[in-house]
Amino acid sequence: MPELPEVQTTVSGLQLIIKKQITSIKVNTTKLRYLIPKKIDQIAKNKEIIRIYRLGKYIIFELSNSISLIFHLGMTGRIRLLKKSDYRKLKHDHIIIYLNYNEVIIFNDPRKFGFVDISKTSEFKQKKYISNLGLDPFQKELDENYLLNKFDRSSIPIKQLLLNQKIVAGIGNIYANEILFDAKISPFLPGSQLDFHKVSKLIKSIRRILKKAISFGGTSLKDYVSVDGTLGNFQTKFKVYNRENEKISKFRVRRVIQYGRSTFFCPNLQKSKFNPPFYT
Interface residue list for DNA (CB under 7 A): 1-3, 33, 56-57, 72, 74-76, 91-92, 110-113, 128-129, 132, 154-156, 163, 165, 172-174, 219-223, 257, 259-262
Beta bridge partners of 59: 54, 71
Q: Smaller CB distance to DNA: residue 37 or 74?
A: 74
Catalytic, 6? Answer no
Question: Do 97 and 22 form a contact (C-beta atoms < 8 A)?
Answer: yes
Q: Is 2 or 98 the residue whose CB approaches DNA more closely?
A: 2
Point out the catalytic residue in the list 57, 80, 159, 243. Answer: 57
Q: Is 144 a catalytic residue?
A: no
- Taking a C-beta distance cutoff of 8 angstroms, is the pair 44, 32 a contact? no
* Of residues 1 and 14, the one with the C-beta less far from DNA: 1
CB of 22 to DNA, least distance (A): 25
State yes or no: is 2 an active-site residue.
Answer: yes
Give min distance, CB of 48 to DNA, in A: 28
* 51 is a catalytic site residue: no
| Residue 87 or 129 having the CB closest to DNA | 129
Closest separation between CB of residue 119 and DNA, Å? 14
| Catalytic machinery residues | 2-3, 57, 261
